[in-house]
Amino acid sequence: MPKLILKFNAAVIREIEIDKDVLTVGRKPDNDVVVDNPAVSGHHCKILRRGGAFAVEDLDSTNGTFVNEKRVKSADIKDRDVIGVAKHALVFIGDAPAAAAPVAPPPPAPAPKKEEPPVVSGEKQASAWLRILKGGVGEPEYELKGTSTYIGKSDRVHIPIKGTGLFGSAPEVAASVHRKPEGFVLVAVADGYPVVNGSKISGSILLKEGDIIDCGATTMQFNLRN
């Protein structure tokens, strides 16, 4: 069955099977594919099945819809085409099993679960929190409740921060934390943000109990609670 792979930078968030003729994509919860990002419109775009082919249509989104980095209003899509929605990407995988196999993330996932079952089990049962150590502009701590939590200067993120600090001026959306089977994964939205335990982060990193995260002038600590 054709499917979409939702990615944020290099991190795979989830897979969505295309099991009906129209799939809507957007920030609001009534969409088939919910992308929890302030830069994504409430109803951003839709994926259409036209006979044996597929297409994407933009729904007058604020920041536009892109196919292979080209902004489109409506465009046909084929196997491995990348649909850009703000900072997220939807990789379209056609019916061919051979083409889908290299892209799908499940094959490598079982290995760490078998090697460290107690750690994985514990992370699934625990709730995660970010405690503000300094430079707070809101609550003293935040529970990472949803699938994705966004951190930055924007007034539409989940965890607001002070914008300028030791490591320079932070972006509007500086980082995000995603709940995944292996634990909580921190994804850098801009190269060098955030800084974890004194090291600038590019791509993604699996968070550990007690990790210190610097974004702009705000310092946070990652904690797990049973």
Q: Give residue-wise pLDDT tens across range 166-204.
A: 555 667 777 888 888 888 998 887 767 788 998 888 888
Identify the weakest region by mean pLDDT among 4-8, 80-84, 110-114, 140-144. 110-114
Nearest to 193 by CA among 208, 209, 204: 204
Exposure of 104 in the CB half-sphere (CA atoms within 13 A):
16
Sequence length of the chain is: 226
Assign 3-class secondary structure to 46-81: EEEEECCEEEEEECCCCCCEEECCEEECEEEECCCC
Task: Calculate the average pLDDT of the chain.
Answer: 81
Query: Beta 74-77 vs 164-165: how paired, if at all?
Result: unpaired
pLDDT band for position 31 (cuts 50, 70, 90): very high
119 pLDDT more than 60 = no
Q: Which residue has the higher pLDDT, 68 or 110?
A: 68
pLDDT band, very low/low/confident/very high, at 105 (cuts 50, 70, 90): low
Write b or e for each residue in 7-40: b if 16 or more Cβ atoms lie within 10 A of its Cβ, otherwise e: bbbebbbebbebeeeebbbbbeeebbbbbbbbbb
What single DSSP character describes residue 171? Answer: P
- Is the confidence at residue 152, as pLDDT, over 90? no
Which residues lie below 8 Å from residue 189, measured CB to CB, with a gap of 6+?
A: 9, 87, 152, 171, 173, 174, 175, 176
Q: Name the amino acid, one letter, at 121.
A: S
User: 208 in helix, strand or coil?
Assistant: coil
pLDDT at residue 3 is higher than 70: yes
pTM above 0.85, yes or no: no
